[in-house]
Amino acid sequence: MKFCKTVFATLIITLLAACGGAGVPQVDWELAVTGDVDTPLTLSYRELTDMPQTDLSDVLMQKSLGEDQITSWSGVALDLILEQAGVSDYSTITALAADGYAIEISAEETLDAIVALKRGGEWIPEIPDEEGKGPIRLVTPETPANRWVFQLQELQVNE
């Protein structure tokens, strides 16, 4: 009987570890959505991982230094985040990074944009060459990669 309980407990622990968010890294990070929005938002990393995910395959990552790459990304569609903030129309978004970098991106440039949580199927914070670049990134496939934002912390919506 004791053996059965041990086997059952081991089975339950294994199943729980294999389910849903067990593989999601524990990251203390937030994304704020501010500006011309009906409902300002602050989304935790965990909340972003729980939202529907969009995959972008074979995206040309045009680099200003080094060779261009073809990469795949997964994350939350920017449109979905803006919809939750009550945004129906905007002219630009200013994306701000934790290191102070900021860039203004036109609505046209945000076509198919995502707040990326994974690159090539791996969580960004668990990729060795991503260290120090923040756990999330704004990926705008319609623009060169030097306009993508590492360490994304805030999206300011501008009418």
Residue 7 resides in a domain:
no
Residue 41 resides in a domain:
yes
- pLDDT surpassing 50 at residue 121: yes
Residue 150 resides in a domain:
yes
| CA 67 from centroid of its chain's CA atoms | 24
- pLDDT surpassing 80 at residue 117: yes
Cα angle 84, 139, 17; round to 5 = 75
Residue 38 resides in a domain:
yes
Residue 21 resides in a domain:
no
**Among 22, 23, 42, CA closest to 32:** 42
Please, are residues 113 and 93 in contact by the beta-carbon 8 Å criterion? no
Residue 6 resides in a domain:
no
Give the tens place of pLDDT for each residue, 95-105. Answer: 999 999 999 99
Q: How many structural domains are present in the chain?
A: 1
Residue 121 resides in a domain:
yes
Percent of the chain, pLDDT > 70? 86
| Residues spanned by the domain of 153 | 27-158
Residue 132 resides in a domain:
yes
- pLDDT surpassing 70 at residue 21: no
Mean pLDDT score of the chain, rounded to an integer?
Answer: 87
CATH number of the domain enclosing 33? 3.90.420.10
Q: Which residues pair with 61 in a beta bridge?
A: 69
